[in-house]
Amino acid sequence: MIEGIVFDMDGTLIDTASVLAKAWEQAFISEGVGVEYEDLYKNTRGVSSRDIIHRYGQSLSDEDAIKIKEKRRNNFLHLVETDKTLLYPETLNVIRKLKDKGIRTAIGTGMSRDLLENVLKMTGLNDLIDIVVSSDDVKEGKPAPDVFIEAFNRLGIDPHKGMVVGDSVNDILPGKKIGSFTVFISRSGEKLDIADESISNLGELLNFV
């Protein structure tokens, strides 16, 4: 029986992948680093900010890297401040139903803490989710399993009795590595063979718990 679920956040519970990619693009370009939006959108989902900076800005000084991260934060907040509809329509209802079933929930995200607190408050997830672990809280970001291991530890649940839900191979691979039941979500209907299940709506999770 599933005792707890650790969710990826962006692309799973909320829809900000495009906003984050645009915020990174603007930040890198402002510091003279050539990047492409499509590449950022495809390859940074679930990845920690420090790993993104390392990948695209290897020649940057520590000072410039800090500037880019701060600009990314400001760009992101500016882009979302006029649009509070970050949540997928079913997100809050599904989490409430899971809690009614006695299933504890956590978020394991590559989003850094400087953005995370704002997003949690803006969406109301801070009132429903039991535990939140950021890539800033662990040694290695995804696809290393650290965020998921830490989330299950804080929930007090054996990962083998837990579920990992995400929209990227960077979520499913570490979930498999720690022995959790893995669910890949793609709202366009794509499947991921390595996942235990693939769904197109969070409501389908209720079939597995």
Each domain of the chain, given as residue ranges in start order, spans 4-15+86-207, 17-80
3-state class (DSSP) for residue 136: helix
pTM of the model: 0.81
- Do the domains at 4-15+86-207 and 17-80 have one common CATH topology? no
Beta-carbon contacts of 59 under 8 Å, excluding residues fewer than 6 positions away, are none
The architecture of the domain spanning 17-80 is: Orthogonal Bundle (1.10)
pLDDT digits (tens, 9 = 90+) for 149-185: 999 999 999 999 999 999 999 999 999 999 999 999 9
Q: Which pLDDT does position 85 carry in this prediction? A: 62
Low-confidence ranges of the chain (pLDDT < 70): 82-85
- Homologous superfamily of domain range 4-15+86-207: HAD superfamily/HAD-like (3.40.50.1000)
Closest of 95, 148, 89 to residue 126, by C-alpha: 95
Neighbours of 24 (CB within 10 A): 26
Burial of 141 (0-12, 13-18, 19+ CB in 10 A): buried
